[in-house]
Structure 1
Amino acid sequence: MPTVAMGGEEGNDMELKVTQYEIGDDGVAVVRLRRPGRGNSWTARMNAEYRWIMARLEHDAAARVIVVTGSGDQFCVGADHKALAHYTEGDHDYVASVRGAELAKPGQGVHPEFDHDLVWHWGIGKPIVAAINGACAGIAMALACFCDLRYAASGAKLTTATARLGLPAEYGLSWLLPRLVGVTHAADILLTGRIFRAEEALRMGLVNDVFPRESFNDTVMRIARSAAAEISPLSAAATKRQLYGELMERGIGRAVDASKELIGVMMKHPDYREGVAALRDRRAPSFPPAGHERVVLPAGSLPPYRSADGDR
């Protein structure tokens, strides 16, 4: 895996010190949070690198599915304890310190709500999978929740932690968790700050599935490869905009009408013809990388579509 990523649409080269990524020939990009011996704990440096990598993958047609995981046997234990202690000393302005005006901006320009911290995952028109291979706490819980799919290794421990730090729910989890698991479970997770296991997260509906630790990585990669091989990139991008855009601002009737308008547009795209041909021929579809053609959606049907190469 590269430790230095070179050039590209997101500005200057960046030396990757606490993250890694690679794009396989199978169309699956794997991003690893990497702070060995420190539980892959989150820092300002990791945030900058992670955003930069995701911005590059957003625009790289070779990456059809993105898997986010941790190195070793932990996902991310949350904010580095030294970073937490920093705010107990003196009168530091937390909001100013995390504003990040100079950071890469993945997922931007799709919907105003998607331009915010971590919500930008929803603006990236590719499936993003959180592979929770171990401890997942604090901001890492928020990161995982903003991914499209979440799988956890058996026995993995999860916690929001903020209640035990004298802090409120962070990064929009008070809005997001009730929509993922319902108010009852969200109140339990957020108000108690307790540690719970992957198996309980599955029962709550927080994760899509739990796999044995010894086969976890292979199983998640098999799922990701299947999605990369069989899902139309155009469909993935449009569906994400439907899923999250309508979650925030559509009534059910408008969602039905908007989907009809969108179907009418996408039926004219080569991906639809290929999908129908594959179904007829009883074979797997072979979709080209995203960004080959521009699709213009009906006015008002969805937040503006942006292809993988940035067209609107």
Structure 2
Amino acid sequence: MSEQTSQPIHIEQQQGVATITFNRPSALNAINVPMAQALLQAVQQLTQDASVRCIVLRGEGRAFMAGGDLAALQANPEQAAQDLIAPLHMAVTLLASGNAPVIAQVQGAAAGAGLSLMLHADMVLAAEGTQFNMAYTKLGASCDVGASWTLPRLVGLRHALEIALLSEPLNTEQALRLGLINRVLPISDLPSAVMRLAKQLANGPTQAYGQIRRLMRVSFDQDLHTQLNAEAQAFLQCTRTADFSCGINAFFNKSPAAFSGK
């Protein structure tokens, strides 16, 4: 796939895994309004498709995403920001609320909006040598795409403020230590490692994954009693699924469970 397709977002589906590719490699996949709108359309399509049981986010070329497209922001800052932020915020809301786990496959650079999008993934696999940078304060801007929500939850308030206020680059070792990413691999091994993990998740109990994803995301905002009630309701909903019956039967039959996602 390449920029010659003229589509800012490319979607590929196989074996329950949907891959969303940011496709502006000559601009290091800097996100502009057409790409943001195309991303929202892709996410709307995939989160409504029950056959999609894992979503991979990746960037074509040398970078995952090097932030927002500054040319439009320079020409008409306020309107361009509104036009860019609205679809991005809708897209990450849908990604967070769905059942399908999200993996980010990151190489080169994840900066600004690219880093903010990456933070919404359930798991992040990064290539050696990748650089991470919030970057917003270098432009005199605050963060967007939910970074002020995700970042403190991942690294704690002190580290989050340091990362956001200073906007200094982080390497993969620092990102791994802080909990921004899950694994670091040679770039040659990254695509196959991501696909192995994506297929593993796509073969899992998708509705249970969705319950876990939602429970984890609200847990910071609820007291223990409320969270326990939410866990009980989620577990009861899981007991009504075909996958729960499959898992129980597989346990007693001492055989691997063949989950269908239903």
With normalisation by structure 1, the TM-score equals 0.77
Question: Which whole-Å CA distance do the structure 1 matches of 2:239 and 2:60 have between them?
Answer: 41
Deviation at 1:36, TM superposition (A): 2.3
Q: Alignment length, in residue pairs?
A: 261
Runs ≥4 residues deviating over 4 A: none
Question: Which whole-Å CA distance do the structure 2 matches of 1:265 and 1:63 have between them?
Answer: 20
Question: Which whole-Å CA distance do the structure 2 matches of 1:176 and 1:99 have between them?
Answer: 16
Within the alignment, does 1:44 sit opposite 2:63 as a pair? no
Distance 1:165 1:28, change over 3 A: same
Residue of structure 1 aligned with 2:108, choices 134, 145, 155: 134
Q: Which has the higher helix share?
A: 2
Deviation at 1:94, TM superposition (A): 5.0
Deviation at 1:262, TM superposition (A): 2.9
Question: Which whole-Å CA distance do the structure 1 matches of 2:6 and 2:51 have between them?
Answer: 20
Is the 1:2–1:21 contact (alpha carbons within 8 Å) kept by the matching residues of 2?
no
Structure 2: stretches of 5+ with no match in the other structure: none
Q: In the alignment, residue 257 of structure 2 is paired with which amino acid?
A: P
Deviation at 1:2, TM superposition (A): 11
Question: Which whole-Å CA distance do the structure 1 matches of 2:235 and 2:137 have between them?
Answer: 45
Deviation at 1:132, TM superposition (A): 1.0
Percent identity among equivalent residues?
26
Question: Which whole-Å CA distance do the structure 2 matches of 1:262 and 1:18 have between them?
Answer: 37
Is the 1:131–1:151 contact (alpha carbons within 8 Å) kept by the matching residues of 2?
yes
With normalisation by structure 2, the TM-score equals 0.90
Q: In the alignment, residue 132 of structure 2 is paired with which amino acid?
A: L
Question: Which whole-Å CA distance do the structure 2 matches of 1:217 and 1:117 have between them?
Answer: 24
Partner of 1:260: 232
Question: Which whole-Å CA distance do the structure 2 matches of 1:71 and 1:80 have between them?
Answer: 16
Partner of 1:111: none
Structure 1: stretches of 5+ with no match in the other structure: 4-14, 106-114, 291-312
Q: In the alignment, residue 83 of structure 2 is paired with which amino acid?
A: S
Residue of structure 1 aligned with 2:213, choices 240, 243, 247: 240
Distance 1:62 1:262, change over 3 A: closer
Within the alignment, does 1:97 sit opposite 2:86 as a pair? no
Partner of 1:23: 13
Question: Which whole-Å CA distance do the structure 2 matches of 1:38 and 1:96 have between them?
Answer: 21
Q: Secondary structure at the match of 1:37?
A: helix
Question: Which whole-Å CA distance do the structure 1 matches of 2:2 and 2:210 have between them?
Answer: 27
Distance 1:240 1:199, change over 3 A: same
Distance 1:190 1:139, change over 3 A: same
Question: Which whole-Å CA distance do the structure 1 matches of 2:106 and 2:85 have between them?
Answer: 27
Is the 1:119–1:146 contact (alpha carbons within 8 Å) kept by the matching residues of 2?
no
Q: Secondary structure at the match of 1:195?
A: coil
Within the alignment, does 1:80 sit opposite 2:69 as a pair? yes
Which deviates more, 237-246 or 207-216? 237-246
Question: Which whole-Å CA distance do the structure 2 matches of 1:218 and 1:172 have between them?
Answer: 29
Alignment of 1:1-312 (within 5 A): 17-24=7-14, 26-87=15-76, 92-94=78-80, 96-98=82-84, 100=86, 116=90, 118-229=92-203, 231-248=204-221, 250-290=222-262
CA-to-aligned-CA distance 1:79-124 (integer Å, 9 cap, x gap): 1231232246xxx445643464xx6x9xxxxxxxxx8563332112
Distance 1:38 1:95, change over 3 A: closer
Which deviates more, 276-285 or 60-69? 276-285
